[in-house]
Structure 1
């Protein structure tokens, strides 16, 4: 316990920072661009310290690698004119997602990404009207696609990454000698159930004491997308969990996760972030309050949207403007999901990394099966132990 408390000033994740990119503003002549790649972000836009920022980072990687630029970008990212890159941000609520996709398609962009499962209906409609444009849906599944389709779905094995951070939570609880773990999801939907199920399974796998009923408590914020943008409700739920002897709470709640972190700080307990290296974001913030909150973030489950945007864009460019349709999965085996280790949290989790890496490798190799929902935990326990 003393070792864990002494390591409180640490946190996690890998953020790409490109504020000092070379070159001039994205004012290059689009006539000279060999490829044009666009992204329509999800609600929250740039600065969300999550999916949207990661998608932007993927664009920066493409600009740097292929000599491109991001048009109309405040950071003036420009490495040449070979690839024109552009992102658009939806209005609050995201009702204009489809319109923004159409704007870019009508403007002649070759490859378009829709960031987030909320594009599940809009993107196929637009793709049907623009058969010569290729579309990629991040974090959503569209059935009946084949290699000739002009849509590629990008799925993430959230349950696999959540299993690893759940295992870390279980190991920490074991060393603390007592306590429960908790999970807070935004919407009570299958996508978020994947985080819940993987986390619970990982905690139980690493710590047999957590297999008893009531040792892992899960809660959900709401039933509609506003649940991803409700930090006050998340804070209330987390505060309640911490009052029930929960020592570590893992969230899959988007912007609402900020409330979980504040509750962890107030209760002097621990939290785990998601998607982005949220601990490192807080620890490197300008205010002392944010840095103090960051000290309570053990790690984050990384969902590498930046890698997905970069990898598919690279394949498209390298193939001369072709990308196979269908679905692509990003999991532990190809670096699509993982957990954050950095200068802030390394001391705290270093004693567990060897075991975590062993579990990561076994899941990636298929030696450990991870349930895709918390509802499958009883069957998983019976089959595993």
Structure 2
């Protein structure tokens, strides 16, 4: 259930956004109206726009809101080596300019966003990913990623011929542990004989775990050498390297967050993308913007899961969609998760 709280929409300020954010990362603004109204603004996670995954999904939500509501929007790129203070400054600058809501994409925004929300109580803030912020003007847009990852594990176990599959995590942290836990459970409960080889690219995001396709490619190549013929990546932009390695070695890749089979930048590899474990970040970002437009801003925990349809598996690859046995196994697993018969681990 969505918890709704009515708050006052922030008014626009007069200072220049470009000047205010010049030290905080690249800025893209666009206006669809003449009355000066400002709406949704998003601050990207590591990897930025163009990751074909998490950040791009958030941007799709922004684009939908801009088109429907005809207002000015902003989307801000991260910078290398930035601190929490930099992130807070970015969010505060957006709120000061009158953007509402302001969304931080990624758990790294938790502390900065909480601080910004305290300074601007009449602005609605949102954070995408596992970060629970107890504030009256914050929506925690969270997901049961482990549930979609379980289904990815079912797909991997049913598709492997070598009885070995891989998992590449971008950063060794609790959020990505959810992806691994669900995936491994799905594999093992589908076929206990299948081995899962796993690797994390870095210990921290600052080391490039979510933004280094070369690291992803090297990790996937190592798993493929160990006979993995299906590799699932939960690694943001680094996942592109995993997909590239899978295509080069004629094995399957499983994408994450967005339907990566449909991503233009990955078109030459799409025949190697079996499916993607998706979470509908675009819908969550758009819904938050709509709630503000409607005068009833979402706050508290706003959760997406298999039951709500906000996490799941994509069916874009015909080889995946037309495999009746595989689809039946996934359908059964999905129904059992929704009913509670299968309890998916998150760690």
TM-score, normalisation: structure 2: 0.84
Counterpart in 2 of 1:53?
A: 56
1:86-118 Cα offsets, whole Å, 9 max, x none, are 322223345432222111111122311111111
1:272-328 Cα offsets, whole Å, 9 max, x none, are 1111111222xx55xxxx54422211111112110111222222322x1x3243212
CA RMSD of aligned residues (A): 2.1
Counterpart in 2 of 1:125?
A: 115
Counterpart in 2 of 1:28?
A: 33
**Take 1:343 and 1:241, find their aligned partners in 2: how far apart are those partners?**
23
- 5+ residue gaps in structure 1? 1-24, 70-82, 374-385
Q: Structure 2 residue aligned with 1:90, among 78, 92, 99? A: 78
Q: Structure 2 residue aligned with 1:364, among 335, 338, 343? A: 338
User: What secondary structure, in the 3-state scheme, does the structure 2 residue paired with 1:120 have?
Assistant: helix
CA shift, 1:223, in A, is 0.6
Counterpart in 2 of 1:217?
A: 197
Q: Structure 2 residue aligned with 1:169, among 145, 149, 156? A: 156
Counterpart in 2 of 1:293?
A: 269
User: What secondary structure, in the 3-state scheme, does the structure 1 residue paired with 2:90 have?
Assistant: helix
TM-score, normalisation: structure 1: 0.76
**Take 1:325 and 1:317, find their aligned partners in 2: how far apart are those partners?**
14
Q: In structure 2, do the counterparts of structure 1 residues 324 and 273 end up closer, same or farther at CA, with 3 Å as the change threshold?
A: closer
Counterpart in 1 of 2:187?
A: 203
Counterpart in 1 of 2:69?
A: 68
**Take 2:100 and 2:221, find their aligned partners in 1: how far apart are those partners?**
47
1:339-368 Cα offsets, whole Å, 9 max, x none, are 111255445545422321221122122221
Q: In structure 2, do the counterparts of structure 1 residues 344 and 93 end up closer, same or farther at CA, with 3 Å as the change threshold?
A: farther
1:211-236 Cα offsets, whole Å, 9 max, x none, are xxxx1111111111111122222222
Are the equivalent residues in 2 in contact too, given 1:299–1:345 (CA < 8 A)?
no
Aligned residue pair count = 314
**Take 1:107 and 1:350, find their aligned partners in 2: how far apart are those partners?**
53
Q: Structure 2 residue aligned with 1:159, among 124, 135, 146? A: 146
Q: Which moved further from structure 2: 270-279 or 341-350?
A: 341-350
Runs of 4+ residues over 3 Å off in structure 1? 92-96, 343-351
- 5+ residue gaps in structure 2? 1-29
**Take 1:350 and 1:87, find their aligned partners in 2: how far apart are those partners?**
42
